[in-house]
Structure 1
Amino acid sequence: MTEVDSDPYDVNIAYSVPMDQITSLIGQSTRCRQNLVAECKNAKIWNGDNQLAWWVSRDGARMMNWGGSKNFEGCLCSVDNDCELGHRCNCGARPDVWKTDGGFLTDKTKLPVSALHFGSAAPPKEMRYKLQSLQCYTGP
């Protein structure tokens, strides 16, 4: 996990092969995914209707979904109304408690993640993240 240590915190994601080769691989694949996870204590991904953390698609679009909530504003837990206290995400729902939000991003038209942004997550708030490698598959 990588610690978020400034406010705001922005990171551009570098890949070891050119983006045109990555998009070609995605285009030839049946499915692709990339896991994105945030662990937070007193830091939020969403604060009411204000998005404080997001990922950026390969075409530079700010994405409103976090960790697998495809075509949905919020985190994966909000798809099933399973987030802490009815929030859009678990992060920040309860003070002084570590919470996790994340899952697999699967929209082939948006992958891979090109950047991450975190706002309002600097100390004394705590947030860390992990973005795993892009995984693509062929077949069923």
Structure 2
Amino acid sequence: MVGACKPIETKFSAAVCVGIVLMCLSQVSTSLKPDDKLDGLQKLGHTLRKRSVGSETASDTEERSATSCPRGPTAGALAGVPGVPGVPGVPGVNGACGETGPTGATGAKGDMGVEGVPGQKGEAGLPGLDGLKGAKGEVGPPGENGDSGPTSIPLLASCDALKKAGFGVSGTYRIDPDGAGNGSEPFSVVCDMTSDLTVGYTTIHHDKEDGDVKGFEDRGSFIVNVTYDLGRGQVEAIKAVSSSCRQFIKYACIGSLFDGGYQYWISYDGQPMVNWGGVPTGTTGCACGVTATLPVSQLRFGDTGETGEKGVYTLGPLQCA
């Protein structure tokens, strides 16, 4: 309890000190000069006269008797000096927290924001897997009968016979050179109906239409074997019903001799031929027209073994009419 009383003793000491200060101030007030006191009375509303300090004269006595000094206020009526403010009290303890209030109402829905800028186009994805094969559909109903076609093409002996019968369009036709029921069966050929105004050519192609010749020096050492689209019997049947056959052959060379037996061809019956189309040896770019020796079955070239020596050959199809 002694410790608890210390603040009270401190306050009591402070009150005693204040009383002492007030007493000291009262003494100071009584020790003021007389003139200062009189000045204070005048301020309170009294009319006073001053007199000189020294011996009194008669006139002074008379004057004092005629006018008496009014009584001033008693010493107890004077205003005291304000006391010293008290020491602030100790702050009180914080109160307990209140309970949480109820949840407020949900606010109104805000306005829709501004539409954003479209993003960049993405990269193309990988191709998808192939789907499963569908089931086979049902067979549809039969179609209607078509219109009757043009007059059927007759089975004739050659392309020239077909052209004379009025078929002037080039293309593939079936022919029967030895006639119906005789020898070979009918077969298909290519008919050239436009290269000549009046003649239709039965055309037989092969596999060696052109090629380069180089690196063979000896006579006829470069060999080209020619294979035709039709068999030998069919070729012979066509030749048998034709008045003439033709086959274009050409050999262009650089630094190589055309004559001297270096270049020649083999006929269909295996005979070496040095005359190119029945013209003198040495003629280039000729068209062979000897029916008995056509078609060309082999080409033979030479004198192309040295530097700068080479040749190019061209062999057309066999055409008979």
TM-score for both structures, normalised by structure 2: 0.32
Q: Residue 65 of structure 1: SS of its match in structure 2?
A: coil
**CA-to-partner distance for each residue in 1:88-140, whole Å, 9 max, x for gaps?**
xxxxxxxxxxxxx1211011110000000001124530100000000111xxx
Find the structure with the greater CA-based Rg.
2
Residue aligning to 2:29: none
- Cα RMSD, aligned residues only: 1.5
> Contact 2:266/2:299 (CA < 8 Å) preserved in 1?
yes
**CA-to-partner distance for each residue in 1:2-45, whole Å, 9 max, x for gaps?**
10123121011001111121121112111110000011111122
Q: Which amino acid aligns with 2:265?
A: W
TM-score for both structures, normalised by structure 1: 0.71
Match of 2:234 among 8, 21, 29: 21
1:59 counterpart = 2:269: yes
User: Equivalents in 2 of 1:118, 1:53: separation in Å?
Assistant: 4
Q: Residue 102 of structure 1: SS of its match in structure 2?
A: coil
Mapping for residues 1-140 of structure 1, pairs under 5 Å = 1-7=210-216, 8-46=221-259, 50-66=260-276, 68=277, 70=278, 72-76=279-283, 101-122=284-305, 123-137=307-321
> Contact 1:75/1:102 (CA < 8 Å) preserved in 2?
no
Q: Residue 121 of structure 1: SS of its match in structure 2?
A: coil
Q: Which amino acid aligns with 1:125?
A: E
- Unaligned 5+ segments in structure 1 are 77-100
Q: Which has the higher strand share?
A: 1
The total of aligned residue pairs comes to 107
- Unaligned 5+ segments in structure 2 are 1-209
User: Equivalents in 2 of 1:35, 1:75: separation in Å?
Assistant: 16
User: Equivalents in 1 of 2:292, 2:249: separation in Å?
Assistant: 17
Q: Residue 33 of structure 1: SS of its match in structure 2?
A: strand
Q: Which amino acid aligns with 2:313?
A: Y
Q: Which amino acid aligns with 1:103?
A: C
User: Equivalents in 2 of 1:40, 1:25: separation in Å?
Assistant: 34
Residue aligning to 1:87: none
Q: Which has the higher helix share?
A: 2
User: Equivalents in 1 of 2:245, 2:298: separation in Å?
Assistant: 18
Deviates more, 1:5-14 or 1:55-64: 5-14
- With over 3 angstroms needed to count, the CA separation of the structure-2 counterparts of 1:29 and 1:54, relative to structure 1, is same
